[in-house]
Amino acid sequence: EYDGERNSEGERHGRGKAFLPNGDLYDGEYEHGFRSGQGTYRFRNGACYIGKYLLNKKHGRGIFFYPDGSKYEGDWVNDQRHGHGVYTYANGDTYTGEWFNHNRHGQGRYIYKDTGAIYVGGWVNGNQEGEAELIYLNHRFRGKFVNGNPVGRGKYVFDIGCEQHGEYIHSEQDKEEVEEEEEPSFLGAPTWKASEITKLTLWSPRGEKTPSPREASQPSLQEVSSEVFSPVREAGEEDEGSREEEENRDQEDQGEE
């Protein structure tokens, strides 16, 4: 059922409200039969999108409220989170930064509500990767991450006025295990090996061009488990409402008179 403006050709054009057969509701602008412009789409499962549309797809600035209580506010391109945006997760964690094809990708800041820890640095395909800083209450780790884990050389900076330099070393597979596999991979949690303690020095992450998802390389690393470095616990992203909108995108036409 549709209640709104139409053009001379009978197409939905201008302001209108559509009640879809599946129970969803759209109230907003149309252009030549498509949702285009500012609008509000309410899903029967409780999800809601308020923002820009283009040819029936979320495109531009918008806010998506998910059924689990989480929300995303930022840029959309072709129904995907893409550009810059803020995601507030159901558990209170927040991510602020760049997005690429629905994934955290580029530079961003992730704040863990339960511990107060903050990750500031690179992301690739939703995972922490690249030069970064992991900030805790009274110390911080600065170094490189791959697939969510610290790798190689880095340092811990303590508020008492000193730095502990070292590197994260990953245990290697036994020779017999390597022979049984086509390609060797990392096994075991990375271990921090300290080398020296120095006074505080100036530091800033090196500027790196974030690879595209196709170019990104993500070795398989097991999660870290230690008192000093906490593994990344990221909230799951709820896309149920978005998926339902995509599945029912064509149903609106069924309400045409």
- Mean pLDDT, the chain, as a whole number? 80
Which of 47, 44, 70 lies closest to 237 in space, CA to CA? 70
Q: Which of 15-24, 114-123, 183-192, 223-232 has the lowest mean pLDDT?
A: 223-232
Q: What mean pLDDT is predicted for residues 169-198?
A: 60
194 vs 58, more confident = 58
pLDDT band of 171, cuts 50, 70, 90: low
Token readout for 31 is 């252009």
Q: Which of 32-41, 105-114, 239-248 has the lowest mean pLDDT?
A: 239-248
Residues written for the chain: 257
What's the gap between Cα 211 and its chain centre?
16
Number of separate helices (H) and strands (E) present in the chain: 2, 16
Look at residue 84 and give its three-state secondary structure. strand
* Half-sphere exposure at residue 13, Cβ-oriented, CA atoms within 13 angstroms: 8
Which of 11, 39, 45, 2 lies closest to 242 in space, CA to CA? 45
State residue 181 phi and psi, 5-degree precision: -105, 150
Q: What pLDDT is stored for residue 257 in this prediction?
A: 34
Look at residue 213 and give its three-state secondary structure. coil
Look at residue 244 and give its three-state secondary structure. helix
Residue environment code for 30-67, b if the CB has 16+ CB neighbours within 10 A, otherwise e: bbebbbbeebebbbeeebbbbbbbbebbbbebbbbbbe
CATH number of 1-90: 2.20.110.10
pLDDT band of 231, cuts 50, 70, 90: very low
| Amino acid (1-letter code) at residue 3 | D
For the chain, give every domain's residue range: 1-90, 107-170+190-202
One DSSP character per residue, 64-76 reads: EE-TTS-EEEEEE
| Amino acid (1-letter code) at residue 129 | E
- What is Dmax (Cα atoms) for the chain? 78
Res 240 pLDDT > 80: no
Q: What pLDDT is stored for residue 198 in this prediction?
A: 87
